[in-house]
Structure 1
Amino acid sequence: MPDASQRILAFRLLVLLAGSLPAVWLAWQWYFGDLGAVPAEAVVHFTGRTGLILLLVTIAFSPAFRLTGWVGIMIARRQIGLWAFFWLVAHMLAWMGLDQFWDWPWIRREMVDLPYIRYGAAALLLLVPLALTSFRRMQKAMGYTAWHWLHRLVYVAAALGVTHLWILTRADYRMPMLFAAALAVLTVFRVGDALLGGKRDA
């Protein structure tokens, strides 16, 4: 039976696959022309969905740790969080390059005129300090309390991302509803755990 370090390594490799395999699939689909009539739009949507899913998985790692107590979950959380950030940056770059053709005046106009783009941009901006401070050295430099409070912004970023998707959706709302429900459950769990934790510590 594998020891604890081997199980953690296996889990981290699984997280690595979860973050990188979508890129392999996307490259395959692009190469063989299987992304539909508008490949650029398909890439923009795929990268955004992938990033949002991984962001919600990052949030879900905390309750998973609370329920299981397995330290490997928390060790891999930073890894999956950085993958979420990577895919959301890819989403923004795909929109700017493949959809807007790096037309900066038009991009600025779109950001001013379209609320869902502002929500998406705000979500990504909130994730920048989280990605920059995700490393253990930064956590020690900031102190755990300040670091912990800063990283609670992930819930705000996720809510903005879900709002971005919701406004963008035109017909089938099943996916944004699923994302919104998942985020609501994770948020309720986090608030409840904080309240119960405060009572236990009192």
Structure 2
Amino acid sequence: MNQRTAITAFRLLVLAGCVTPAGWLVWQWYFGDLGAVPGEAVVHFTGKTGLTLLLVTIAFSPAFRVTGWVGFMAARRQIGLWAFFWLVAHMLAWMGLDQYWDWPWIRREMIELPYIRYGVAALALLVPLALTSLRRVQKAMGYRAWHWLHRLIYVSAALGVTHFWILTRADYMLPLIFVAVLTGLIVFRIVDAMLHRR
């Protein structure tokens, strides 16, 4: 298998991994297997899926640095946009299935509840990253400016993990995993930058 074929296969694998949760969610909804409060289950599922994909997006750069395989970089934009899609779905599910599009109440929740503010801020920071994900935009901005802008993904991920942590009431295993993964990725980035400068 040549490199181009391997990259194409990997991109298809990434696509399948990002789309499959939607199929599972539709299946569970159709057969009524989402529990007593299906709307809440959808909100939680979309949020966890989006945050997971966001961390995987960040992890693709260290994976490339360690292995040198360009397939990780070729698929990074793809999985990053899917992470954005799932997090937008999470926000819409919260507004529609949990808040029933009650805009005065939604506005009040955003103002009064810290975890909502963290979540909104995390998603807002991803908007410019999604809008500048095209290669021609990267060229127009210049690589240095584009690169600095896309470092906001770390801030967004930290806000997202904080949002999830505050929401958790009993089992902190998954939030702890998210914290550990994000911490590891940040440490890797700092160490790699220091070694690169030397």
**TM-score (structure 1 length as normaliser):** 0.97
Instruction: Quote the residue 1:166 is aligned against.
Output: 165
Between the two proteins, the alignment pairs up a number of residues equal to 198
Unaligned segments of structure 2, at least 5 residues: none
Task: Write the letter of the residue equivalent to 1:127.
Answer: L
Instruction: Quote the residue 2:55 is aligned against.
Output: 56
User: Is the aligned partner of 1:144 residue 2:154?
Assistant: no
Taking the aligned partners of 2:128 and 2:27, their CA distance within structure 1 comes to 33
Taking the aligned partners of 2:49 and 2:126, their CA distance within structure 1 comes to 15
Task: Write the letter of the residue equivalent to 2:107.
Answer: R
- What secondary structure, in the 3-state scheme, does the structure 1 residue paired with 2:54 have? helix
Runs of 4+ with deviation above 3 angstroms: none
User: Is the aligned partner of 1:72 residue 2:71?
Assistant: yes
Residue correspondence of structure 1 range 1-202 to structure 2 within 5 A: 2-199=1-198
The Cα of 1:38 is off from its aligned counterpart by 0.3
Task: Write the letter of the residue equivalent to 1:20.
Answer: V
The Cα of 1:135 is off from its aligned counterpart by 1.1
- What secondary structure, in the 3-state scheme, does the structure 2 residue paired with 1:37 have? coil
Q: Deviation string for 1:131-171 (max 9, x for gaps)?
A: 01011111101000000000000000000000000011111
Taking the aligned partners of 2:79 and 2:22, their CA distance within structure 1 comes to 14
Task: Write the letter of the residue equivalent to 1:188.
Answer: V
Taking the aligned partners of 1:19 and 1:83, their CA distance within structure 2 comes to 7
Q: Deviation string for 1:37-57 (max 9, x for gaps)?
A: 000000000000000000000
**TM-score (structure 2 length as normaliser):** 0.99
Taking the aligned partners of 2:65 and 2:177, their CA distance within structure 1 comes to 23
Unaligned segments of structure 1, at least 5 residues: none
Identity %: 77
**Alignment RMSD (CA, Å):** 0.4
Task: Write the letter of the residue equivalent to 2:158.
Answer: A
Taking the aligned partners of 1:9 and 1:22, their CA distance within structure 2 comes to 21
